[in-house]
Amino acid sequence: MARIVMKFGGTSMAGIERIRSVAERVRREVDDGNQVAVVVSAMAGETDRLIQFCREAASLYDPREYDVVVASGEQVTSGLLAIMLQSMGVAARSWMGWQLPIMTSDAHSTARISGIDAKAIDTAISGGEVAVIPGFQGMSAGGRLATLGRGGSDTSAVAVAAAMKADRCDIYTDVDGVYTTDPRIVPRARKLSRVTYEEMLELASVGAKVLQTRSVGLAMKKGVRVRVLSSFDDGRDEGGHRGTLIVGDEEIGESDMEEQLITGIAHDKNEAKVTLTSVPDKPGAVASIFTPLAAAEINVDMIVQNFARDTGNTDVTFTVPAADLARSIDVLEREKPSIGFRELSHDTNVCKISVVGVGMRSHAGVAATMFQTLADRGINILAIATSEIKISVLIEEDYTELAVRVLHTAYGLDADEEAA
């Protein structure tokens, strides 16, 4: 017997027949003797429909009222799943966020979960009843409905799993796990049976959108074992595993880590490169660039500074999310007098390629392999950033697929056969 949280996304909840399949999956876990809580998303498309209503109602809307409107989508699916489970003879009831409660911060529409009172869930599931909980929402300190922002249902599921001390949090989605890289680019990409929280965080933050980054961070902090698996496919890998388990380093074990140098290769085309030329090379010059960007809540990622000591000037290159490029340019042009650069150039035809793996900690030469492999193919590196378990390079967007493919081979990640 185990305590399990099962989370189903919008595609899995899209319509009565899919909710019936979800209910059947839940019943199987109950029949296996497990105590189960289910966290559900709204039907695919429903949250967009509700957001659209708010936008049509007013261009600037009160996020507290927006939350009232959009929280209704998960309310509907939680009630429907409870009805469906009962019709299959499985004891079940829905628990709204305000009924438990799931407490959140007051940052309506992007609230953070501050605490969950799991007593009611605990009593229910201990008595054999399935607890169905609408994801993405809770109640703010002021007693109002609050939502967590897009993808927040993953975070809800992990938070519920932590509060009820679940043995595992299964995130059902439309892919069957986390891959070494995007299988659309590399047909020989392999599904990973295990990955560490940190690797998952790095992969998620560079474009492998299987799980919301926040939910992985919370899982790491609370030590919740998360599994990502498919709602639509029951297949198991050669090792007999379904999906990908996301766990702490300690569960992976030394031997695994040593044999697996690199876990995966991610790419992210949603970056834009900005270059400021002839910035005065004096104390505070770099701060004069990045302080106003930070004030505008623009996340600067990779930074390269080309010193040109003879002129006393320097070129500064960095990346920002492509969606924030226009705002970034506005901010920088406004600050031009105080920064003192000569020209601003920008480029969105770039891609960030990252190799990720905890094995990197105990192995030298990972970066050298990367640079050499790309150089062999004539791929120019525009910027480099590194962390303890990740090396990222910025390249021209046209080389994305080539770079991912050659690196996947260079690090020995290719499977024997193509993925289905």
Binding site for a copy of itself (CB under 8 A): 16, 19-20, 50, 53-54, 56-62, 64-69, 71-73, 75-76, 78-80, 82-84, 86-87, 93-94, 96, 98-99, 143-145
Residue type, 391: I
Query: Which of 22/374 has CB closer to a copy of itself?
Result: 22
Helix (H, G, I), strand (E, B) or coil at 256: helix
Q: What is the CA radius of gyration of the chain?
A: 24
Closest approach of Cβ 144 to a copy of itself, in Å? 7
**Overall size of the chain counted in residues:** 420
In the numeric block, the tokens 């000569």 are attached to 342
What phi and psi values does residue 173 have, to the nearest 5 degrees? -140, -165
- In angstroms, the Cα distances linking 50 to 46, 132, 212, 348, 420 are 6, 22, 21, 32, 36
Q: Assess contact for 22 and 9: CB atoms under 8 A.
A: no
Query: Which of 56/388 has CB closer to a copy of itself?
Result: 56
Query: Which of 25/408 has CB closer to a copy of itself?
Result: 25
In the numeric block, the tokens 């809307």 are attached to 61
Query: Which of 120/185 has CB closer to a copy of itself?
Result: 120
Query: Which of 139/204 has CB closer to a copy of itself?
Result: 139
Beta strand 130-134 with 35-40: parallel, antiparallel or unpaired?
parallel
Q: Assess contact for 344 and 274: CB atoms under 8 A.
A: yes
Closest CA to 266 of 319, 193, 205: 205
Query: Which of 58/308 has CB closer to a copy of itself?
Result: 58
Query: Which of 131/192 has CB closer to a copy of itself?
Result: 131
Closest approach of Cβ 50 to a copy of itself, in Å? 7
CA distance 181 to 171: 19
Q: Name residue 6's beta-bridge partners.
A: 38, 170
Closest approach of Cβ 111 to a copy of itself, in Å? 16
Estimate to the nearest angstrom the gap between the alpha carbon of 49 and the chain centroid.
23
Beta strands in 127-193 (DSSP E): 130-134, 137-140, 145-147, 168-173
DSSP character for 194?
Answer: E
Q: Assess contact for 119 and 99: CB atoms under 8 A.
A: no
Query: Which of 144/225 has CB closer to a copy of itself?
Result: 144
DSSP character for 164?
Answer: T
Closest approach of Cβ 348 to a copy of itself, in Å? 34
Closest approach of Cβ 18 to a copy of itself, in Å? 12
